[in-house]
C-alpha cells in the first residue's frame, strides 16, 4: 500500500510538472514598426518621416508675401536631362511650384535655370533677367537628399502680371538620378 501511494504521489508530481512547464502561447504583436512600412505609427509626423524617422521633406516660400507650403506627398525631385527639377504642389488652392537647376552637384549659391509658379491654371514663368537663385546648403550625393533656399520673380506671359517668390526653403528632399 505504501508503494502504491508512493507510486501515485510520484506520478502526480510528474503530471503536475508536465503541465506546469507548458507555456501559454503569446499573441503575435504583428510587424515591427519601421521608417519604411508605409504606416503612420511610432510617433511619425507624416508616413515614415518625422518623429523617430528622418525629417519629412518640405517646400515653403512666400508668394507676393503670402505663405505657401507644399503638401508633403507632392514633393518630388529628379534629373530631366541635365536639369535638376524640384517641385511640389498645394491641394488647398490648386497651386504648384517648380524650380530647375543645371550645374554642379554641390553646396553653393547658383542661378536658377528655370522656375514656375502655377495657380488656378495661370503659369507664372521665371524672368530670365535677373535670374532667380538657388542656394544648396546640403547636397548629399550618397543619400540623394538636398536642402537649400530659392527665390525668383515670375510673369504671366499672357497678361504681364507678376509674382515675387521669396524666402523659399526646401528641406530634406529626396532626388532621383
- 68 pLDDT band, cuts 50/70/90, is very high
Residue-level pLDDT at 22: 52
Q: What pLDDT does 11 receive?
A: 45
Q: Where do the domains of the chain lie?
A: 58-174
Separation CA 125–CA 163 (nearest Å): 9
pLDDT of residue 37: 87
83/98 Cα distance (integer angstroms): 12
Nearest to 69 by CA among 101, 45, 97: 97
pLDDT at position 8: 44
pTM for the model: 0.76
Non-local (6+) Cβ contacts of 107 within 8 A are 136, 137, 138, 139
User: Could you read off the pLDDT of 24-46 as tens digits, one per residue?
Assistant: 666 766 678 888 888 899 988 88
What does the radius of gyration of the chain's CA atoms come to, in whole angstroms?
30
Amino acid at each position: 500500500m505504501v508503494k502504491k501511494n508512493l507510486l501515485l504521489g510520484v506520478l502526480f508530481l510528474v503530471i503536475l510538472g508536465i503541465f506546469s512547464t507548458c507555456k501559454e502561447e503569446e499573441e503575435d504583436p504583428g510587424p515591427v514598426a519601421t521608417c519604411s512600412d508605409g504606416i503612420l505609427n511610432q510617433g511619425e509626423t507624416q508616413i515614415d518621416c518625422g518623429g523617430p524617422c528622418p525629417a519629412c521633406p518640405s517646400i515653403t516660400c512666400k508668394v507676393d508675401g503670402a505663405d505657401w507650403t507644399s503638401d508633403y506627398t507632392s514633393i518630388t525631385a529628379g534629373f530631366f536631362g541635365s536639369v535638376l527639377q524640384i517641385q511640389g504642389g498645394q491641394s488647398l488652392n490648386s497651386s504648384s511650384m517648380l524650380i530647375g537647376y543645371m550645374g554642379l552637384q554641390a553646396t553653393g549659391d547658383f542661378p536658377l535655370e528655370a522656375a514656375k509658379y502655377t495657380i488656378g491654371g495661370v503659369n507664372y514663368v521665371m524672368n530670365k533677367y535677373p535670374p532667380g537663385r538657388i542656394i544648396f546648403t546640403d547636397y548629399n550625393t550618397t543619400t540623394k537628399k538636398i536642402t537649400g533656399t530659392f527665390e525668383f520673380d515670375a510673369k504671366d506671359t499672357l497678361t504681364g502680371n507678376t509674382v515675387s517668390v521669396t524666402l523659399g526653403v526646401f528641406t530634406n528632399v529626396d532626388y532621383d538620378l
